């Protein structure tokens, strides 16, 4: 059973370009969470999605950021017109509620660098 997959692992963009980050949850998991981590900081919740639905996007900036989790294919976090402050590691996690736990399995992350 493959773990959570994210690609690309590293992404370099110039200011003003678009960044598109992909996340494939573990097989059978339908809950996806996106987090942003700045260097030496904790993880900041951005958005929670289930298939075709955004459940909670309260942590996501109102402008330039969007997320989707289509019926088929990976979840996508899209950042338009990137700025230097968007440079960070972006992790997605998928959830299992088996054994009464709400355990989140994290992907390896995408490290975004904005030049």
Partner 1 sequence: GQQVMQIPQYQHVQEGEDFTTYCNSSTTLSNIQWYKQRPGGHPVFLIQLVKSGEVKKQKRLTFQFGEAKKNSSLHITATQTTDVGTYFCAGGGSTLGRLYFGRGTQLTVWP
Binding footprint of partner 1 on the chain (CB under 8 A):
31, 33, 35, 40-45, 48, 55-56, 91, 93, 95, 97, 101-109
Nearer to partner 1, 33 or 69 (CB): 33
> Of the two residues 14 and 99, which places its CB atom closer to partner 1 in the complex?
99
CA distances for 102 relative to 30, 95, 98, angstroms: 13, 6, 8
Distance CA 95, CA 35 (A): 13
Distance between CA atoms of residues 81 and 47, nearest Å: 19
Least distance (Å) between residue 81 CB and partner 1: 27
CB 91, min distance to partner 1, A? 6
Could you write out the DSSP letters of every residue in 22-59?
A: EEEPPTT--EEEEEEE-TT--EEEEEEEETTEEEE-TT
Q: Are 16 and 87 in contact (CB under 8 A)?
A: no
Closest CB to partner 1 among residues 66, 106:
106
Nearest to partner 1 of 64, 111 (CB atom): 111
For the CB of residue 105, give the shortest distance to partner 1 in the complex, in Å. Answer: 7
In whole angstroms, the minimum distance from the beta carbon of 15 to partner 1 comes to 26
């Amino acid at each position: 059973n493959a773990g959570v997959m994210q690609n690309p692992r590293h992404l370099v963009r110039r200011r003003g370009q678009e960044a598109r980050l992909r996340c494939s949850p573990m097989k059978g998991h339908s809950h996806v969470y996106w987090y942003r981590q700045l260097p030496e900081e904790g993880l900041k919740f951005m958005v929670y999605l289930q298939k075709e639905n955004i459940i909670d996007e309260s942590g996501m900036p109102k402008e330039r950021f969007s997320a989707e989790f289509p019926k088929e294919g990976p979840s996508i976090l899209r950042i338009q017109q990137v700025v230097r402050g968007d440079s960070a590691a972006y992790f997605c996690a998928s959830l299992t509620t088996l054994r009464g736990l709400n355990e989140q399995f994290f992907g390896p992350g995408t490290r975004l660098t904005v030049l």
